[in-house]
Structure 1
Amino acid sequence: MHKNVLFAQSGGPTAVINASCYGIIKQAKKSGGRIFAARYGVEGILKDNIIEMTDIDDATLEILRYSPSSAFGSCRHKLKEEEFESVLKIFDKYGIGYFFYIGGNDSMTTADRLSKYALKVGYDIKAIGIPKTIDNDLPCTDFCPGYGSAAKYVATSVKEMALDSDVYDKGIITIVEIMGRDSGFLTAASALAKDEVVDSPHLIYLPEVPFDENEFLKDVERAYSKKKKVFITASEGLKNKDGEYAYLRERSADAFSNLQMGGVGKYLENLVKTNIEKRVKSVELSILQRCAAHIASAQDNDVAVMVGTDGVKYAMEGLTDVMVSIVRTENGFKTSTVPFSEVAGKIKVFPKEWIDNENRGVTREAIDYMLPLVQGEAKVPYEKGLPRYVRFI
């Protein structure tokens, strides 16, 4: 029986994805087997781009925990049927009996298909999915590691930009475009910016609510007439009543048929400039919201470690074909498991009962859900005044 461990990262990076690798490595070291990592996800497996992590020193491992982005590289490769055999040959070469794939719903689909193929051909492998995504759109888990840190970055950036936009005694409308193709969790997190000093954002637009240009302009006109300074946050995935994206920079898609998003901010800016006010600024947070480890949530980092650690425990207990899920408790969070079939290719959307349509905001229930996820500051190591990170690609 193969006893060695292999892990790989997939999809978009997060500020805490490497914390899950830290958890996998720390726990796997206790098993006695060797530990391998694939560079660039399943593409690295196909190319035999494998490195051994068994003897990584504690100091480097600690830096890995707080390093942003995918330290081992990532991919968006959809495995073809004829590639499964090649993957298992690499597994056999390295004596892999435990495979951990860190990613979102498309990654869970890949892990599910690979696990089913291994079962069909009689290869004994324990396949475990480790959740991560800033969009927070994986079902059957309270939240996804990566979301809490991205939410913290979004809320903090909105708070600071709102203060900046208020410095001049002139009317201005600010629009911030936030990631989220089909789910509005990340844009909703902008509501956390509000406090006794900052009253922004004034208007929040989520993909769960059909976007209408006329209603949008009425909302902005009404807010502008009262304040002369309006701060708007909008999801990149805004859709009209027909389910079509309000704006696409280019109609291209990745291997999983996910449309490549972007451009909503400029689209809304042009709408406002044409109809209401010329002084408009649009800001696209882009990749900053997923790689800002310097402001990562300690809670998010801790849970990212936990899903990696417990994923190894579940595999060593004999579980397979499952994703590690997160359960909220009175005292924090714990893990459980959910079958791949319940998460693969599925999307969780922001609950409609948490959307305040009348005021273009979110409810208290939404705030209470999000606030615990942004607590604490991750202990990023600093050297010469700057963060110190590590990577293996």
Structure 2
Amino acid sequence: MLSTLVSSLLLVVTLTGVLPYVASSSGDVGVLSNGSPGDHLLMMERFHGWMAKHGRSYPTVEEKLRRFDIYHRNVMFIEAANLDGRLTYTLGENQFTDLTHEEFLAKHTSRPVAPSDLVRNEEETVITTRAGVVEEGKCKAAPDNVPHSINWADLGKVTEVKDQGEICGACWAFAAVATIESAYAIAKGVEPPVLSEQELIDCDQFDDGCRVGLMSNAYQWVQRNGGIANASTYPYHERLQTSQNKEKDGTCEEAKLREHAVTIRRYKYVRGNCEQQLMAAVAARPVAVLFDAHNYCFQHYKTGVYNGMCFHEEKLIGPCTSDHLTHSMAIVGYSGKGNDEEKYWIAKNSWGDNWWGEEGYIRLKKDVADPRGLCGLAIEPVYPIV
């Protein structure tokens, strides 16, 4: 518990935003181990800098102090994990640093989907890549002529990273749209169009807006609708409202449903639980995947190859499970095949390109021991065909 002096000083800083002069031999503004009043004031100064950077404000002094406590704890965890050195990736502050893990999951991921609940409703069971046809069945090695690495973003076939916002868990819509944009650009040999996630959130009856959805359902809706609009025609904006503890999405703007920028002919699943065939598919185009984002470290990912390991009560635990698929991303590339020591997937996320990850991307460990892939990413990959 903070001393009376520290509490008083924190209250002054909280109310006024003015930090009294505190000497520091190192000049650092991190948390120091002895927890002295000066250390807490330095952390409060750091918190104010973080607030300014992210445009954050709070309605009451009590809420600000509560957020400061959460921020403080998260920063302590981030710095301790990085200092430990056993992670294969680095953590860092971002727009989520004042959120508890439970709040983060509730606001920025979907309701969990259990792998047993996934039912493939598409009849075709083969995928066609530029390396040839890969049939469903046993997990077969990717064809020899699949490239060692590819990055569709570097090739100009991926739109800029988007941001699903503060209160919408429609990652499924962003992953679906990202892969449609890229599929069109690759098939037509043009720059990728910027398409509308909001149209899916509002109008796709197969999914549940900002709460939960599947990319295969989104593709099916686009196919039946005859296409999907540009983002400029049907722009994204968070329109969730809370009524009797139930979130509600915006009303479908039906007049825009025939303003098609892109149509798709069908969609295909990649052979489940087989990273080799996922690699063959990604060699031809970006692929949408489901992902278990429950890992506390995922919230704070900054850079490096994420392997699903994290700390709990100072113990290194993991890797992440595949039991609760709470997030969706677009795999836009990979690096490494065969016996390479470092192999990873390149995933485009939908939490903006400023703070989380490598400009909004994450590198995920590839060819793991679990056939389901890291955090379940190989359970049900799917992609559209335009």
Whether the TM-score (by the shorter chain) exceeds 0.5 is no
Normalised TM-score (structure 1): 0.26
Structure with the largest fraction of helix = 1
